[in-house]
Structure 1
Amino acid sequence: MNTDFQNAVKASKELTKRPSNEELLKLYALYKQASEGDNTGERPGGFDFKAIAKHDAWAELKGMSSEEAEKSYIELVKELQTKYA
């Protein structure tokens, strides 16, 4: 993980207002893709809709490189900082 990515992760936790659920899912998915690569886990079952949404958001990024995910994450955090800081 590069320093810019680590700084963006820190900055994402310091937003003064809560981003939308869609934005939070995008942040989560990009973070997981950057740090762990493709989602290889089983899709959650039952009524855990939050876990299902997180799984699906991450799975949509399959094939994206860690570097590309880091770059997209950094760009999203910058966008959120102007919107929610």
Structure 2
Amino acid sequence: MVPSAAVSGVIAAAASTAAAAPKRDPDSAVALLHAAGDDQEALAEAIAEAAFLDTTPGDHRQKLRAARARLRQLNAAAAKADSADRSPHAKAEYTAEDFERLTGQYEKLNWRMVSKPGGATVKPDDFYRLYALHMQATQGDNATERPMWAERGGLDFEGRARWDAWSALRGTDPAKAQLRFVKLFHEFSPAALYKDTRGAVLAAGGQ
């Protein structure tokens, strides 16, 4: 039976579309998997692009499967690292009523020190975030001048870090700053401390 003109047209259009479609090259797909390395996002994209290799028996399919296994390993390692940085003191809800008690404790924590040029040292960013929230909650917007020089000479890295963090909160409602302080005190990463003693502080307050 001879196909009708309409059917012939459909067949011709399908053939034309197939010819125009880019040819998926297994070697190129594998090269993309290799080029992605340990970059999780790039590897995930390369795996998605190479999904057609599932129907390609042999070495190409094995390399796709190996890439998927590698991505699972990378994701698991990332999740473990996130877990290590997560504070064990985090809660579902917080109250600003804890502000007065905790605000007198954050400077007493055993903060790590970060070296700066000239032998100066500063604390981790979370310390200055807590300082800034404390100042915003108790004094409002920063109206002081940014410090420049330290008493012993050289740039005042400590003073400038405190000033910058506080100034960044300009316009923040003091009541909101109190609640944010309490939340951050509970949730900042233990990696910012040489030893995390927040548990004792929080236990003393019945938390």
Counterpart position of 1:50 = 158
Aligned partners of 2:165 and 2:135: how far apart in 1?
A: 10
Counterpart position of 1:5 = 99
Per-residue deviation, residues 55-80 of structure 1 (Å, max 9, x unmatched): 01100000001001000000011114
List runs of 5+ in structure 2 lacking aligned partners. Answer: 1-95, 113-122, 150-154, 191-195, 198-207
Which gives a bigger RCO, structure 1 or 2 (Cα 8 Å, sep 6+)? 1
If the length of structure 1 is used for normalisation, what is the TM-score?
Answer: 0.80
Residue type matched to 1:36 in 2?
Q
Counterpart position of 2:184 = 76
Residue type matched to 1:9 in 2?
T
Q: Runs (4+) of structure 1 moved beyond 4 Å? A: none
SS of residue matched to 2:125:
helix
Equivalent residue pairs, number: 82
RMSD, matched Cα: 2.1
If the length of structure 2 is used for normalisation, what is the TM-score?
Answer: 0.36
Asked if 2 retains the 8 angstrom alpha-carbon contact of 1:25 and 1:57, the reply is yes
Q: Which has the higher strand share?
A: 2
Aligned partners of 2:108 and 2:158: how far apart in 1?
A: 22
Aligned partners of 2:182 and 2:98: how far apart in 1?
A: 7
1:18 has 2:126 as partner: no
Aligned partners of 2:133 and 2:107: how far apart in 1?
A: 15
Aligned partners of 1:63 and 1:75: how far apart in 2?
A: 19
Aligned partners of 1:45 and 1:10: how far apart in 2?
A: 27
Aligned partners of 2:136 and 2:97: how far apart in 1?
A: 17
1:33 has 2:136 as partner: yes
Per-residue deviation, residues 20-76 of structure 1 (Å, max 9, x unmatched): 611101110000000100000011123111101110110000000100100000001
Residue type matched to 2:99 in 1?
F
Question: Which range moved further: 50-59 or 20-29?
Answer: 20-29
Cα distance change, pair 42–14 in 1 and its aligned pair in 2 (3 A): closer
List runs of 5+ in structure 1 lacking aligned partners. Answer: none
